[in-house]
Structure 1
Protein backbone atom coordinates (compact mmCIF):
# COMPACT_ATOMS: atom_id res chain seq x y z
CA UNK A 1 0.00 0.00 0.00
CA UNK A 2 3.01 2.30 0.22
CA UNK A 3 2.81 2.27 -3.59
CA UNK A 4 -0.60 4.00 -3.41
CA UNK A 5 1.00 6.79 -1.39
CA UNK A 6 3.96 6.99 -3.76
CA UNK A 7 1.60 7.29 -6.73
CA UNK A 8 -0.32 10.05 -4.93
CA UNK A 9 2.91 11.96 -4.25
CA UNK A 10 4.28 11.37 -7.77
CA UNK A 11 1.18 13.04 -9.23
CA UNK A 12 1.85 16.13 -7.14
CA UNK A 13 5.65 16.53 -7.08
CA UNK A 14 8.98 15.32 -8.36
CA UNK A 15 11.02 13.39 -5.82
CA UNK A 16 14.46 11.81 -6.06
CA UNK A 17 15.14 8.15 -5.26
CA UNK A 18 16.72 9.34 -2.01
CA UNK A 19 13.54 11.28 -1.14
CA UNK A 20 11.45 8.15 -1.79
CA UNK A 21 13.74 6.08 0.42
CA UNK A 22 13.41 8.55 3.29
CA UNK A 23 9.63 8.77 2.93
CA UNK A 24 9.21 5.01 2.65
CA UNK A 25 11.30 4.42 5.77
CA UNK A 26 8.83 6.27 8.02
CA UNK A 27 5.56 4.93 6.60
CA UNK A 28 3.55 2.52 8.75
CA UNK A 29 0.63 0.56 7.26
CA UNK A 30 -2.43 -0.03 9.45
CA UNK A 31 -5.26 -2.31 8.38
CA UNK A 32 -8.61 -1.50 9.92
CA UNK A 33 -11.64 -3.73 9.91
CA UNK A 34 -15.07 -2.15 9.52
CA UNK A 35 -15.93 -0.29 12.78
CA UNK A 36 -12.33 -0.53 14.07
CA UNK A 37 -10.92 2.66 15.59
CA UNK A 38 -7.93 4.59 14.30
CA UNK A 39 -8.40 7.10 17.15
CA UNK A 40 -10.62 7.08 20.22
CA UNK A 41 -11.84 10.07 22.18
CA UNK A 42 -9.46 10.80 25.06
CA UNK A 43 -6.34 9.54 23.28
CA UNK A 44 -3.69 11.96 22.03
CA UNK A 45 -3.32 11.87 18.22
CA UNK A 46 0.35 11.60 17.18
CA UNK A 47 0.22 10.83 13.45
CA UNK A 48 -0.57 12.01 9.96
CA UNK A 49 -2.83 9.46 8.27
CA UNK A 50 -3.28 8.92 4.53
CA UNK A 51 -6.12 6.69 3.33
CA UNK A 52 -4.83 4.08 0.86
CA UNK A 53 -8.07 2.09 0.70
CA UNK A 54 -11.46 2.38 2.35
CA UNK A 55 -13.49 5.04 4.12
CA UNK A 56 -13.18 6.56 7.59
CA UNK A 57 -15.22 9.02 9.58
CA UNK A 58 -14.27 11.47 12.33
CA UNK A 59 -17.04 12.14 14.82
CA UNK A 60 -17.85 13.24 18.35
CA UNK A 61 -20.50 11.95 20.72
CA UNK A 62 -22.47 14.49 22.76
CA UNK A 63 -23.77 14.14 26.33
CA UNK A 64 -26.99 12.57 25.04
CA UNK A 65 -25.03 9.88 23.16
CA UNK A 66 -25.74 11.39 19.73
CA UNK A 67 -22.99 11.09 17.12
CA UNK A 68 -21.93 14.18 15.16
CA UNK A 69 -19.93 13.33 12.04
CA UNK A 70 -17.31 15.98 11.35
CA UNK A 71 -15.51 14.48 8.36
CA UNK A 72 -15.37 11.54 5.99
CA UNK A 73 -12.08 10.43 4.41
CA UNK A 74 -11.69 8.14 1.41
CA UNK A 75 -8.81 7.02 -0.79
CA UNK A 76 -6.14 9.68 -1.35
CA UNK A 77 -7.50 11.85 1.46
CA UNK A 78 -5.96 12.56 4.86
CA UNK A 79 -7.49 11.92 8.28
CA UNK A 80 -6.65 12.85 11.85
CA UNK A 81 -7.17 15.35 14.62
CA UNK A 82 -4.99 18.40 14.05
CA UNK A 83 -5.96 20.05 17.37
CA UNK A 84 -4.91 17.02 19.41
CA UNK A 85 -1.75 16.62 17.31
CA UNK A 86 -0.59 20.22 17.57
CA UNK A 87 -1.52 20.80 21.23
CA UNK A 88 -0.74 17.25 22.45
CA UNK A 89 -4.13 17.17 24.18
CA UNK A 90 -6.69 14.36 24.43
CA UNK A 91 -8.86 14.18 21.34
CA UNK A 92 -12.55 15.08 21.44
CA UNK A 93 -13.09 12.81 18.44
CA UNK A 94 -13.27 9.21 17.37
CA UNK A 95 -12.04 8.07 13.98
CA UNK A 96 -13.22 4.68 12.79
CA UNK A 97 -13.51 2.68 9.59
CA UNK A 98 -16.86 2.71 7.81
CA UNK A 99 -15.58 -0.16 5.66
CA UNK A 100 -12.46 -2.33 5.73
CA UNK A 101 -9.64 0.14 5.20
CA UNK A 102 -5.88 0.48 4.83
CA UNK A 103 -4.26 3.59 6.26
CA UNK A 104 -0.68 4.77 5.96
CA UNK A 105 0.44 6.64 9.07
CA UNK A 106 3.55 8.71 9.71
CA UNK A 107 4.53 9.71 13.24
CA UNK A 108 4.42 13.48 13.67
CA UNK A 109 8.15 13.72 14.44
CA UNK A 110 8.97 11.89 11.20
CA UNK A 111 6.46 13.98 9.26
CA UNK A 112 8.07 17.19 10.48
CA UNK A 113 11.49 15.82 9.48
CA UNK A 114 10.16 15.07 5.97
CA UNK A 115 8.85 18.64 5.73
CA UNK A 116 12.25 20.03 6.70
CA UNK A 117 14.32 17.72 4.49
CA UNK A 118 12.14 17.64 1.36
CA UNK A 119 10.93 21.12 0.27
CA UNK A 120 8.49 19.69 -2.31
CA UNK A 121 6.84 17.60 0.42
CA UNK A 122 6.55 20.67 2.66
CA UNK A 123 4.97 22.65 -0.20
CA UNK A 124 2.40 19.87 -0.72
CA UNK A 125 1.56 19.85 2.99
CA UNK A 126 0.99 23.62 2.90
CA UNK A 127 -1.30 23.25 -0.14
CA UNK A 128 -3.28 20.54 1.65
CA UNK A 129 -3.64 22.73 4.73
CA UNK A 130 -4.91 25.66 2.64
CA UNK A 131 -7.44 23.42 0.85
CA UNK A 132 -8.52 21.96 4.18
CA UNK A 133 -9.08 25.44 5.62
CA UNK A 134 -11.10 26.43 2.55
CA UNK A 135 -13.18 23.25 2.80
CA UNK A 136 -13.85 23.94 6.50
CA UNK A 137 -14.99 27.48 5.73
CA UNK A 138 -17.25 26.20 2.95
CA UNK A 139 -18.71 23.59 5.30
CA UNK A 140 -19.42 26.20 7.99
CA UNK A 141 -21.05 28.49 5.43
CA UNK A 142 -23.29 25.76 4.03
CA UNK A 143 -24.21 24.56 7.53
CA UNK A 144 -25.44 27.97 8.63
CA UNK A 145 -26.92 29.25 5.39
CA UNK A 146 -28.49 26.35 3.46
CA UNK A 147 -31.78 24.55 3.95
CA UNK A 148 -31.70 20.83 4.76
CA UNK A 149 -32.45 19.97 1.12
CA UNK A 150 -29.77 22.36 -0.15
CA UNK A 151 -27.24 20.83 2.29
CA UNK A 152 -27.98 17.36 0.94
CA UNK A 153 -27.76 18.45 -2.70
CA UNK A 154 -24.50 20.27 -1.96
CA UNK A 155 -23.14 17.11 -0.29
CA UNK A 156 -23.98 14.76 -3.17
CA UNK A 157 -22.67 17.24 -5.75
CA UNK A 158 -19.46 17.92 -3.82
CA UNK A 159 -18.82 14.32 -2.72
CA UNK A 160 -20.52 12.03 -5.26
CA UNK A 161 -18.18 9.15 -4.34
CA UNK A 162 -19.40 9.22 -0.74
CA UNK A 163 -23.15 9.25 -1.34
CA UNK A 164 -23.34 5.51 -2.01
CA UNK A 165 -20.54 4.40 0.34
CA UNK A 166 -21.68 6.02 3.56
CA UNK A 167 -24.77 4.86 5.49
CA UNK A 168 -27.68 7.27 5.35
CA UNK A 169 -27.73 7.97 9.12
CA UNK A 170 -24.06 9.06 8.95
CA UNK A 171 -24.78 11.42 6.04
CA UNK A 172 -27.66 12.88 8.08
CA UNK A 173 -25.34 13.35 11.04
CA UNK A 174 -22.74 15.06 8.84
CA UNK A 175 -25.43 17.41 7.50
CA UNK A 176 -26.79 18.15 10.97
CA UNK A 177 -30.25 16.77 10.22
CA UNK A 178 -32.18 13.71 11.39
CA UNK A 179 -32.26 10.49 9.35
CA UNK A 180 -36.02 10.99 9.01
CA UNK A 181 -35.51 14.44 7.48
CA UNK A 182 -32.97 13.00 5.05
CA UNK A 183 -35.43 10.25 4.06
CA UNK A 184 -38.12 12.88 3.38
CA UNK A 185 -35.68 14.93 1.30
CA UNK A 186 -34.66 11.91 -0.77
CA UNK A 187 -38.30 10.93 -1.24
CA UNK A 188 -39.25 14.46 -2.37
CA UNK A 189 -36.31 14.59 -4.79
CA UNK A 190 -37.34 11.22 -6.26
CA UNK A 191 -40.90 12.47 -6.76
CA UNK A 192 -39.62 15.62 -8.47
CA UNK A 193 -37.52 13.54 -10.87
CA UNK A 194 -40.52 11.39 -11.82
CA UNK A 195 -42.75 14.40 -12.49
Structure 2
Protein backbone atom coordinates (compact mmCIF):
# COMPACT_ATOMS: atom_id res chain seq x y z
CA UNK A 1 0.00 0.00 0.00
CA UNK A 2 1.37 3.39 -0.96
CA UNK A 3 0.01 6.49 0.69
CA UNK A 4 2.75 8.69 -0.79
CA UNK A 5 0.22 11.12 -2.40
CA UNK A 6 -1.43 11.60 1.02
CA UNK A 7 1.91 12.21 2.75
CA UNK A 8 2.87 14.72 0.04
CA UNK A 9 -0.49 16.46 0.47
CA UNK A 10 -0.07 16.57 4.27
CA UNK A 11 3.43 18.04 3.92
CA UNK A 12 1.80 21.24 2.61
CA UNK A 13 0.34 21.70 6.10
CA UNK A 14 2.46 19.82 8.63
CA UNK A 15 5.79 18.00 8.97
CA UNK A 16 5.58 14.40 10.14
CA UNK A 17 8.53 12.51 11.60
CA UNK A 18 9.30 9.04 10.23
CA UNK A 19 7.89 7.52 13.44
CA UNK A 20 4.66 9.49 13.00
CA UNK A 21 4.39 8.30 9.39
CA UNK A 22 4.80 4.69 10.52
CA UNK A 23 2.09 5.19 13.17
CA UNK A 24 -0.21 6.87 10.64
CA UNK A 25 0.29 4.00 8.15
CA UNK A 26 -0.56 1.47 10.86
CA UNK A 27 -3.88 3.18 11.54
CA UNK A 28 -5.37 3.84 8.12
CA UNK A 29 -7.02 1.64 5.53
CA UNK A 30 -6.58 1.82 1.77
CA UNK A 31 -9.54 0.45 -0.15
CA UNK A 32 -10.32 0.01 -3.83
CA UNK A 33 -13.82 0.61 -5.15
CA UNK A 34 -15.24 -0.26 -8.54
CA UNK A 35 -16.98 2.27 -10.77
CA UNK A 36 -20.58 2.56 -9.56
CA UNK A 37 -19.90 1.41 -5.98
CA UNK A 38 -21.09 3.57 -3.10
CA UNK A 39 -18.78 4.75 -0.34
CA UNK A 40 -21.77 5.95 1.69
CA UNK A 41 -25.51 6.03 1.02
CA UNK A 42 -28.17 8.43 2.26
CA UNK A 43 -29.51 7.26 5.60
CA UNK A 44 -26.39 5.27 6.55
CA UNK A 45 -23.86 6.67 8.99
CA UNK A 46 -20.75 7.93 7.22
CA UNK A 47 -17.97 5.97 8.90
CA UNK A 48 -15.00 7.37 6.95
CA UNK A 49 -13.36 10.54 5.79
CA UNK A 50 -11.58 9.60 2.56
CA UNK A 51 -8.59 10.91 0.63
CA UNK A 52 -8.70 10.04 -3.07
CA UNK A 53 -5.50 8.34 -4.28
CA UNK A 54 -6.97 7.61 -7.71
CA UNK A 55 -10.34 7.80 -9.38
CA UNK A 56 -13.32 10.14 -9.22
CA UNK A 57 -16.38 10.30 -6.95
CA UNK A 58 -19.57 12.33 -6.80
CA UNK A 59 -21.43 13.47 -3.70
CA UNK A 60 -25.14 13.88 -4.30
CA UNK A 61 -28.56 14.14 -2.70
CA UNK A 62 -31.48 12.11 -4.07
CA UNK A 63 -34.77 13.94 -3.60
CA UNK A 64 -38.23 12.40 -3.10
CA UNK A 65 -38.89 12.35 -6.87
CA UNK A 66 -35.69 10.40 -7.53
CA UNK A 67 -33.91 13.47 -8.91
CA UNK A 68 -30.16 13.59 -8.31
CA UNK A 69 -28.59 16.84 -7.06
CA UNK A 70 -24.79 16.76 -7.26
CA UNK A 71 -22.94 18.77 -4.62
CA UNK A 72 -19.36 17.96 -5.49
CA UNK A 73 -16.90 15.79 -7.34
CA UNK A 74 -13.62 14.52 -5.90
CA UNK A 75 -10.54 13.45 -7.84
CA UNK A 76 -6.94 12.65 -6.93
CA UNK A 77 -5.61 14.57 -3.90
CA UNK A 78 -9.12 15.64 -2.86
CA UNK A 79 -11.21 14.55 0.13
CA UNK A 80 -14.66 13.06 0.11
CA UNK A 81 -17.11 12.41 2.94
CA UNK A 82 -20.56 13.35 4.20
CA UNK A 83 -18.91 15.61 6.77
CA UNK A 84 -22.09 16.29 8.75
CA UNK A 85 -22.75 12.57 9.16
CA UNK A 86 -19.09 11.76 9.82
CA UNK A 87 -18.61 14.40 12.52
CA UNK A 88 -21.91 13.74 14.31
CA UNK A 89 -22.10 10.00 13.53
CA UNK A 90 -25.74 10.42 12.47
CA UNK A 91 -27.45 9.26 9.23
CA UNK A 92 -26.00 10.71 6.03
CA UNK A 93 -27.87 13.27 3.95
CA UNK A 94 -25.76 12.46 0.90
CA UNK A 95 -24.60 9.57 -1.25
CA UNK A 96 -21.00 9.23 -2.37
CA UNK A 97 -20.52 7.07 -5.44
CA UNK A 98 -17.46 6.20 -7.53
CA UNK A 99 -17.60 7.45 -11.11
CA UNK A 100 -14.42 5.52 -11.93
CA UNK A 101 -12.55 2.67 -10.31
CA UNK A 102 -11.12 4.46 -7.28
CA UNK A 103 -8.57 3.93 -4.53
CA UNK A 104 -9.09 5.77 -1.25
CA UNK A 105 -7.25 6.26 2.02
CA UNK A 106 -9.94 5.85 4.65
CA UNK A 107 -9.88 7.43 8.10
CA UNK A 108 -12.53 6.05 10.45
CA UNK A 109 -14.01 8.30 13.13
CA UNK A 110 -12.35 6.34 15.96
CA UNK A 111 -8.99 6.22 14.19
CA UNK A 112 -8.98 9.98 13.68
CA UNK A 113 -9.55 10.43 17.40
CA UNK A 114 -6.58 8.09 18.09
CA UNK A 115 -4.44 10.02 15.63
CA UNK A 116 -5.32 13.32 17.32
CA UNK A 117 -4.16 11.92 20.67
CA UNK A 118 -0.94 10.36 19.35
CA UNK A 119 0.02 13.01 16.76
CA UNK A 120 -1.54 16.30 17.93
CA UNK A 121 -0.44 18.19 14.80
CA UNK A 122 -2.90 16.04 12.81
CA UNK A 123 -5.73 17.79 14.62
CA UNK A 124 -4.43 21.08 13.19
CA UNK A 125 -4.13 19.46 9.75
CA UNK A 126 -7.72 18.19 9.72
CA UNK A 127 -9.00 21.49 11.10
CA UNK A 128 -7.29 23.34 8.25
CA UNK A 129 -8.71 21.10 5.51
CA UNK A 130 -12.21 21.29 7.03
CA UNK A 131 -11.90 25.10 7.17
CA UNK A 132 -10.88 25.16 3.50
CA UNK A 133 -13.83 22.93 2.59
CA UNK A 134 -16.19 25.19 4.56
CA UNK A 135 -14.91 28.33 2.80
CA UNK A 136 -15.21 26.64 -0.62
CA UNK A 137 -18.78 25.63 0.22
CA UNK A 138 -19.68 29.18 1.28
CA UNK A 139 -18.17 30.64 -1.90
CA UNK A 140 -20.11 28.14 -4.01
CA UNK A 141 -23.37 29.26 -2.36
CA UNK A 142 -22.54 32.89 -3.19
CA UNK A 143 -21.72 31.95 -6.82
CA UNK A 144 -25.05 30.11 -7.09
CA UNK A 145 -26.87 33.26 -5.94
CA UNK A 146 -24.86 35.80 -7.89
CA UNK A 147 -23.69 34.26 -11.18
CA UNK A 148 -25.68 33.37 -14.25
CA UNK A 149 -25.74 29.69 -15.29
CA UNK A 150 -23.30 30.55 -18.08
CA UNK A 151 -20.85 32.22 -15.67
CA UNK A 152 -21.18 29.33 -13.22
CA UNK A 153 -20.29 26.91 -16.04
CA UNK A 154 -17.31 29.06 -17.09
CA UNK A 155 -16.11 29.13 -13.49
CA UNK A 156 -16.47 25.33 -13.22
CA UNK A 157 -14.62 24.80 -16.49
CA UNK A 158 -11.79 27.15 -15.51
CA UNK A 159 -11.41 25.83 -11.95
CA UNK A 160 -11.83 22.12 -12.66
CA UNK A 161 -10.67 21.38 -16.22
CA UNK A 162 -9.56 17.86 -15.26
CA UNK A 163 -13.01 17.01 -13.90
CA UNK A 164 -14.90 18.22 -16.97
CA UNK A 165 -12.98 15.77 -19.16
CA UNK A 166 -13.87 12.83 -16.90
CA UNK A 167 -17.60 13.12 -16.21
CA UNK A 168 -20.75 13.12 -18.35
CA UNK A 169 -22.34 16.46 -19.24
CA UNK A 170 -25.61 15.64 -17.46
CA UNK A 171 -23.65 15.40 -14.17
CA UNK A 172 -22.06 18.81 -14.74
CA UNK A 173 -25.56 20.16 -15.41
CA UNK A 174 -26.80 18.62 -12.14
CA UNK A 175 -23.86 20.18 -10.27
CA UNK A 176 -24.73 23.57 -11.78
CA UNK A 177 -28.43 23.14 -10.99
CA UNK A 178 -29.54 23.28 -14.64
CA UNK A 179 -30.82 20.80 -17.22
CA UNK A 180 -28.42 19.06 -19.60
CA UNK A 181 -30.31 20.74 -22.49
CA UNK A 182 -29.63 24.18 -21.00
CA UNK A 183 -25.96 23.28 -20.53
CA UNK A 184 -25.80 22.23 -24.21
CA UNK A 185 -27.31 25.60 -25.16
CA UNK A 186 -24.70 27.43 -23.05
CA UNK A 187 -21.87 25.46 -24.65
CA UNK A 188 -23.22 26.12 -28.17
CA UNK A 189 -23.46 29.83 -27.38
CA UNK A 190 -19.83 29.85 -26.12
CA UNK A 191 -18.66 28.20 -29.36
CA UNK A 192 -20.46 30.89 -31.42
CA UNK A 193 -18.82 33.63 -29.31
CA UNK A 194 -15.31 32.41 -30.09
TM-score by length of 2: 0.95
Query: What is the match of residue 191 of structure 2?
Result: 190
Residue 35, structure 1, aligned to residue 36, structure 2: yes
Distance 1:140 1:6 in 2: 31
CA distance in 2, matches of 1:40, 1:151: 28
**Aligned equivalents of 1:158 and 1:145: distance in 2?**
17
Q: Which residue of 1 aligns with 2:65?
A: 64
In the TM superposition, 1:97-176 aligns within 5 A as 97-176=98-177
2:25 paired with 1:24: yes
1:94 has 2:68 as partner = no
Q: CA deviation at 1:48?
A: 1.4
Secondary structure of 1:140's partner?
helix
Contact 1:51 1:77 (C-alpha < 8 Å) held by counterparts: yes
| Conservation of the 8 A alpha-carbon contact between 2:56 and 2:102 | yes
* Structure 2 residue runs without a partner (length 5+): none
CA RMSD of aligned residues (A): 1.2
1:10 to partner: Cα distance: 3.1
Query: How many positions carry a matched residue from both structures?
Result: 193
8 A Cα contact 1:28 1:105, kept in partner: yes
1:119 and 1:59 map into 2 onto residues whose CA distance is 33
Preserved CA contact (<8 Å) 1:26 1:107: no
